[in-house]
Amino acid sequence: MVTLYDVARRAGVSIATVSRVLHGQDPVRDSTRARVRAAIDELGYVPDGAAQSLARNRKEVIGLVCVEHTGLKPDQYDVESMSLLFYDEVMRGVEARIRERSWSLLITFLREDETKGTTLAQDEPVKTRMLKLSGKVDGLLIGEGVVAPSVIALLARRLPVVVVAGETAMRGADVVSADNWSGAHALVTHLIDEHGRRRLFHVDGPASAPDAMARRLAMESVIEARPGTVLTGSFTGRFTVHSGGEAAEWLLADAEAAVGTPAATALTDMLPDAIICANDQMAIGVLRTLTAHGIRVPQDIAVVGFDDIFPASLCDPPLTTVHQAMRYIGERACDRLIERIGDPSLRPRVEVLPTELVLRSSCGCPPGTVARRQVTPVPRRQATPSKANSKRHVSPGSSSLSPGSALSATQPALPPLTAATPALSPGSSSLSPGSPPLAPGSSLSPGNPPLAPGSSLSPGSSPLYPTNSPLSPTQPTLPTSER
């Protein structure tokens, strides 16, 4: 094996000179540099990457921690959830950035049922695994609520950490997320104001997902502000096609049980006007199940999602949704992590990226509709428990309500899912639930008030968001075709 010493002997220079040529450090005469390069080529010398990283105190590896949403059984997997994950696009964005530096990406998945801890003792297995991982990378990208805030705080004291799609009120670590509140607000407003859908049903995401929480609270805020609009019920899904199908089956079974009563002479009399799903995969599951039961979308009931994954455009009818730039989220999160690796003294920052309303025909728009509307940031406020209350709420495996049970006035009500549900994760002491969100392009540091859109962290610094963002306000509407 050819070594650094062999190159030095062949070139007639010291090993220090060879090292300076390889690393581009300190000036070396052109003639000497050419001689060293010639010796390297003749001998076929390949620098030891591990040794070079050790010399720079860098591993040139970053880690990505993703959440795997599980099924009802510990060993149950949903094929669609593993092939169309949000993280697939995020990873592509991260890879695009580290490829430019010839760095590597170390990926690990934590199962959702591994991250249910509410105390430090319960979080111990995840904490131990994360601490081991932290010793193998220069920094960590951690996904949407998969790791407890206490563990993130511990990790952030050891190495650079950026939370992807996390709670924007988080402190102690950088956060990059889409503007879930404004996107969901625009979607529900469109359903009510432009299509007159006033009896809504919600298919929620996992309780551990901050983005699902923001979308739900935005929906409840819109409902509360529109008298005569009600949330007829909700179902807690797992961001998978399968759980969307479960939600639709439960809803249909409950409606069928009520047919024949004075309140309903047909199945459609008991169905809501629209089903709002926390992501596209669950919306696809809902759409498939309704179609299989002969329910027409959108004539009998509208269905909408969130994310704008590619299969949403292939549904029949194509799915109305909200586009979040998942790959760009990965790029921006990676950029911020590399910045923090280079300068660990940087103050934590929250970056909120804009969304688009993607109109197709599942919401009631005319067949063939393909239009994109830039979503205007909407101030976030805490709603009061009133019209946003849900009549029914069920989680997978819940024994409180069984499918097929009739909706009656005498049935004991479950605790309602109200719009006053706190938006902060347990133990968070940062922003109050009623605090306004960060608008896209703004930042937040501990102890600082929110900055206006486009403002920077310190005087003279550049805006947080590049003008070449894929969702810039000047992006044209696509009237007839997809991207």
Query: What are 333-349's pLDDT values in tens digits?
Result: 999 999 999 888 899 99
Strands in 139-143's sheet, in edge-to-edge order, are 104-111, 61-68, 139-143, 161-164, 174-178, 350-353
Q: What is the CATH number of the domain that holds 10?
A: 1.10.260.40
Per DSSP, the three-state class of 38 is: helix
Q: 483, exposed or middle or buried, with CB in 10 Å at 0-12, 13-18, 19+? A: exposed
Higher pLDDT pick, 67 / 474: 67
Last residue of a domain, one of 338, 368, 394: 394
The Cα–Cα gap between 281 and 301 comes to 18
184 in the same domain as 40:
no
Final residue before a domain boundary, out of 364, 394, 424: 394
Q: Compute the Cα dihedral for 449, 451, 456, 460 and give only its sign.
A: negative
Q: Given pLDDT bands bounded at 50, 70 and 90, which one contains residue 451?
A: very low
Q: If we measure between CA atoms, which residue out of 328, 281, 312, 318 comes closest to residue 298?
A: 318
The domain containing residue 43 runs over which residues? 4-47
Distance in angstroms (rounded) separating the CA atoms of residues 399 and 254: 14
- pTM: predicted TM-score of the whole model, two decimal places: 0.69
Report residue 300 as tokens. 């009998």
CA distance 28 to 9: 17
Count the neighbouring beta carbons within 10 Å of the beta carbon of residue 432: 12
DSSP H helices, 368-431, are: none
- Quick check: 216 pLDDT over 70? yes
Q: Is 232 within the bounds of a domain?
A: yes
Say yes or no to pLDDT of 262 above 80: no
| Other Cβ atoms within 10 Å of 142 Cβ, number | 27
Decide if 18 is inside a domain. Answer: yes
Q: Is position 169 within any domain?
A: no
Residue 447, pLDDT above cutoff 70? no
Model confidence at 404, pLDDT cuts 50, 70, 90, reads very low
Give the confidence band of 80 by pLDDT, cuts at 50, 70, 90. Answer: low
What's the CA gap between 431 and 434, in Å, rounded? 8
Q: Lowest-pLDDT range, 4-18, 63-77, 193-207?
A: 63-77
Same domain, 42 and 186: no
* Cα-based distances in Å from 120 to 13, 69, 112, 117, 446: 57, 22, 17, 8, 23
How many domains, in total, are found in the chain? 2
Mean pLDDT lowest for which of 48-57, 207-216, 237-246, 464-473?
464-473
Q: What is the pLDDT of residue 264?
A: 53
In 3D space, the residue among 123, 215, 157, 70 whose CA is nearest the CA of residue 426 turns out to be 123
CA–CA dist 229, 98 (Å, integer): 48
Nearest 10 degrees: Cα torsion 33, 38, 41, 45: -50
- Residue 198: give its domain's CATH number: 3.40.50.2300
Q: Is residue 83 part of a domain?
A: no
Going by C-alpha positions, the residue among 207, 203, 82 that lies closest to residue 146 is: 207
Within a domain: 223: yes
Where a domain ends, among 47, 64, 80?
A: 47
Instruction: Place 280 in a pLDDT band, splitting at 50, 70 and 90.
Output: very high
Question: Does the residue 125 lie in any domain?
Answer: no
251 and 271 in contact (C-beta within 8 Å)?
Answer: yes
The angle at the Cα of 98, spanning 92 to 101, to the nearest 5 degrees, equals: 150
Judge whether 24 lies within some domain.
Answer: yes
Is 214 contained in some domain?
yes
Q: Which of 471, 439, 442 is nearest to 456 (CA)?
A: 442
